[in-house]
Chain A
Amino acid sequence: MKSTALTAGPPAWLQALPFGAVFLFFFVAPLLLIGAVSFWPTSDYELIPGFTGQNYVSIFEGCSNLAEPCVTLKTYWSTLRFSLLTWAAALLIGFTIAYFLAFHVRSPGMQTLLFVICTIPFWTSNVIRMISWVPLLGRNGLVNQGLMGLGVVDKPVDWLLFSEFSVVLAFVHLYTMFMLVPIFNSMMRIDRSLLEAADDCGASGWQTLWNVIVPLSRTGILIGSIFVITIVMGDFVTVGVMGGQQIASVGKVIQVQTSYLQFPLAAANAVVLLAVVLMIIVALTRLVNLRKEL
Chain B
Amino acid sequence: MSEIRRRQLLQGTAGILATGIFPAIHAQEKITLRYLGTAVNQDKAIAEKFKADTGIAIQYIAVNTDEVTKRAVTSPNSFDLIDTEYFSLKKIVPTGNLKGIDTKRIKNADKITTLFTTGVVGGKAVGDQGTAPKKVIYLEGEKSKVFAKAPTQFMSLIPTVYNADTLGIRPDLIKRPIDSWAELLNPEFKGKAAILNIPSIGIMDAAMVVEAKGLYKYPDKGNMTRKEIDLTIKTLIEAKKAGQFRSLWKDFNESVNLMASGEVVIQSMWSPAVTAVRTKGIDCVFQPLKEGYRAWAAGFGVPATSSGKKLDATYEFINWFLDGWAGAYLNRQGYYSAVLETAKAKMEAYEWAYWMEGKAAEKDIKSPNGDLLAKAGSKRDGGSYEQRMGGIACWNALMDENTYMVQKWNEFVAA
CB-defined contacts of B66 to chain A, threshold 8 Å: 259-260
A-B CB contacts (within 8 Å), total count = 85
Taking CB atoms, residues of chain A closer than 8 Å to B91 are 44-45, 261
A135–B66 alpha-carbon span in the complex (Å): 28
Q: Which residues 159-197 of A have a CB within 8 angstroms of B?
A: 161-162
A262 to B411 Cα, complex, angstroms = 16
**Chain A's nearest CB lies how many Å from the CB of B53?**
36
Q: Establish whether residues B403 and A248, one from each chain, have CB atoms under 8 Å apart when the complex forms.
A: no
B198 to chain A, nearest CB (A): 9
> Is there a chain B Cβ closer than 8 Å to A96's Cβ?
no
Partner of B67, one of A46, A138, A253, A259: A259
Q: Is the Cβ of B403 less than 8 Å from the Cβ of A44?
A: yes
| Contact of B199 with A by CB under 8 A | yes
Count of residues in A whose CB is under 8 Å from the partner chain: 33
Choose from A45, A135, A248 the contact partner of B410 (Cβ within 8 Å): A248
Interface residues of B in 219-240 (CB under 8 A from A): 240
For the complex formed, measure the closest distance between the CB of B173 and the CB atoms of chain A, giving whole angstroms. Answer: 11
Find out whether the CB atom of B402 lies under 8 angstroms from the CB atom of A260: yes
Residues in A neighbouring B263, C-beta threshold 8 A: 138-140, 161-162
- Interface SS majority for chain A: loop
The winner among A244, A248, A252 for most chain B CB atoms within 10 A is A244
Known contacts A58-B407, A134-B257; A158/B191 CB under 8 A: yes
Tell me if A238 is interfacial: C-beta within 8 Å of chain B.
no
- For residue B275, CB closer than 8 A to chain A, the reply is no
- Chain B 129-170, CB-CB to A under 8 Å as 1, else 0, gives 000000000000000000000000000000000000000000
**Contact among A256, A261, A265 for B69, CB-based, below 8 A:** A261
State A135–B257 Cα separation when bound (angstroms). 10
A contact residues vs B (CB 8 Å cutoff)? 42, 44-46, 58, 71, 74-75, 78, 134-135, 138-140, 158, 161-162, 240, 244-248, 252-253, 256-262, 265
Which 9 pairs from chain A and chain B are nearest by CB? A244-B247, A248-B414, A259-B66, A245-B248, A245-B197, A246-B248, A71-B411, A260-B406, A45-B91
Q: Show 11 residue pairs from A and B whose CB-CB distance is below 8 angstroms, ordered by the A residue.
A: A42-B403, A45-B73, A140-B262, A245-B248, A246-B245, A246-B247, A253-B410, A256-B413, A260-B403, A261-B70, A265-B403
